[in-house]
Amino acid sequence: MKNRLPQTALTLLVAWIMLVLLSWILTALNPTADLRSLLSAEGIRWLFGRFVYTLSSPLLIWLVLGVMAYGPLTESQLFRLRRPLGVKERFALRVVMLELTIVVVIMALLTLLPQPLLLTATGTVNHSSFLHCLVPVTCVTLIIAGLTFGVGAGKIDGLAGAYNSLVAGFRSGGHLFVFYVLIVLLCSTIGYVFDL
């Protein structure tokens, strides 16, 4: 799997370059075509002027939080528990279950009570604050659960260990950011060239 990642990234980059060149050639051959070239003055301004705006999206924040959550969950070995559990592990697991229960109760109170705060004015879930915060709240809850279990069970040592476990997720999932940039760049360029 790891050996295919560089080839996949190269394929995405070559596809983007081919799209740029193809849009330039097609607009040069047929100026009245309903295409925009990325190598025109307008295209270059779009590419450089909108690059950061194009990359900044909720998906990027979800990716950052998801990668951060992966670190404490793997470092704490929360999902690799083996019986019999020690006293520290049982206590840490109970604290994690309490934390998860508190988060679920809070989210339920914010969405199920009359005049819920996280739903839309009409009380629906579509385009509500609840949907916008679901992934971040889940990731932060997993981060807290992983750190709590790791520190409580003695798998993560102190503040430095907690920080290192957060960074460990980026060591494991850092390649996802390369794909994020390449995929978003390719999709936004397709949207620009074909005026979608």
pLDDT band at residue 30, thresholds of 50, 70 and 90? confident
In 3D space, the residue among 68, 60, 61 whose CA is nearest the CA of residue 170 turns out to be 68
Which of the two residues, 124 and 103, has the higher pLDDT score?
103
Q: What's the pLDDT at 188?
A: 92
Q: What's the pLDDT at 132?
A: 83
Q: How far apart are CA 187 and CA 191, in angstroms?
A: 6
| Cis bond upstream, residue 31 (ω within 30) | no
Q: What is the mean pLDDT of residues 103-112?
A: 89
In 3D space, the residue among 58, 32, 36, 70 whose CA is nearest the CA of residue 131 turns out to be 58
Cβ contacts of 11 within 8 Å, gap of 6 or more: none
* For the chain, percent of residues with pLDDT exceeding 90: 48
Which of the two residues, 154 and 121, has the higher pLDDT score?
154
Q: Which amino acid is at 106?
A: I
Q: What confidence tens digit (pLDDT) does each residue in 14-25 have?
A: 999 999 999 999
Contact by Cβ (8 Å): 146, 166? no
Contact by Cβ (8 Å): 143, 72? yes
Give the pTM.
0.81
